Amino acid sequence: MTSFRRLVLAVLILAVGAGAVTLLAPGGLGDPQPEVVTEGVSADLYRDVVGVPAGVVRLGGHLALGAPLVLSAALAWVGWLGWGRRTGATAAVALTGAGAVLAYVTSEALKLVVDQERPCRAIADVPGWVPCPPAGDWSFPSNHSTVAGALATGLVLAAPRLAGFAVPAGLLAAAARVVAGVHYPHDVVAGLILGAAITAAVVVLLAPAGRRLVGPTRDRCAPGRPAQ
């Protein structure tokens, strides 16, 4: 793929992701008052999910909070194998890290623009099972879901054979934030899309440059090993 085509594809991915996140946003642009969501499909789903007093659901939510760590470990393993086998996986993993950081920073910036109140504060009659974050810690989009979407997408791009693990792990991490009572469903969907779009764009656009940087570094660490 030529550099121009990579640029076009990256821009297209970002445009689609930005459009989807914008459609999911509750408003808030230029509004000095916080956005409070108490009605609609997302609020109803939140009530249904958080209102279920099932110990199994809560246990699953606790386990799902560790999904980003598992995804990070899987990425590290794929990157290590790629380093030893001299494949492009190591570069993809490194770029995934950069994409995840960029996506997180973007999600934090969006929170300050949208100013959406947490559901555990806006819909206080449905108690969650973790403490509600303090006032001013806004809800849209979900940072955890953004990072999970970024890591899952990077893992799929670095090792497509692990898609069957990466995608459910990312979805599980996002769903856990709703079950915990600290995010609406639209928060976590927006986070997943944001993280996936930014990371995919970074990997698609910078993959050749990443391989060029990783190759000489690897050769210096193992100068006696012939290239494959």
Residue 121 has, within 13 A of its CA and on its CB side, a CA count of 15
| Torsion from C-alpha of 145, 171, 132, 115, nearest 10 degrees | 40
- What fold is seen in the domain 3-26+36-220? Vanadium-containing Chloroperoxidase; domain 1 (1.20.144)
Each domain of the chain, given as residue ranges in start order, spans 3-26+36-220
Distance separating alpha carbons of residues 228 and 158, to the nearest angstrom: 19
Reported confidence tier of residue 226, pLDDT bands at 50, 70, 90 = very low
Which three-class secondary structure state does DSSP give residue 170?
helix
Q: Convert the pLDDT of each residue in 157-183 to its tens digit.
A: 999 999 999 999 999 889 888 888 889
Per-residue model confidence as pLDDT tens digits over 46-82? 988 886 655 545 555 565 667 888 999 999 999 888 7
CA pair distance 108, 101, nearest whole angstrom: 11
* DSSP code, position 35: B
- Which pLDDT band, with edges at 50, 70 and 90, does 221 fall under? low
Please state the pTM of the whole predicted model. Answer: 0.87
Tokens (6 digits) for 197 = 């779009």
Residue 31: band (very low, low, confident or very high) from pLDDT cuts 50, 70, 90: low
Residue 174 is encoded by which pair of tokens?
A: 């996002």
Point out the least confidently predicted range of 1-15, 84-98, 196-210: 84-98
b (16+ CB within 10 A) / e for 166-184: beebbbbbbbbbbbbbbbb
pLDDT at position 180 is 82
Q: How far from chain centre, in Å, is Cα 50?
A: 22
Q: Please give the share of the chain, as a percent, with pLDDT higher than 70.
A: 83
Tokens of 146: 């953004």
At 12 the pLDDT is 96
Q: Mean pLDDT: which of 114-118, 190-194, 219-223 is highest?
A: 190-194
Query: Is the confidence at residue 227, as pLDDT, over 70?
Result: no
pLDDT in tens, 125-151: 877 677 888 988 999 999 999 999 999
User: Percent of the chain having pLDDT more than 90?
Assistant: 51
Q: What is the pLDDT of residue 3?
A: 84
Instruction: Examine the pLDDT at 114 and tell me if it is beyond 70.
Output: yes
From 59, 181, 60, 184, select the one nearest 127 (Cα to Cα).
181
Instruction: Indicate the average pLDDT of the chain.
Output: 85
Q: Determine contact, residues 201/171, Cβ cutoff 8 Å.
A: no
Instruction: Provide mean pLDDT across the span 189-216.
Output: 88
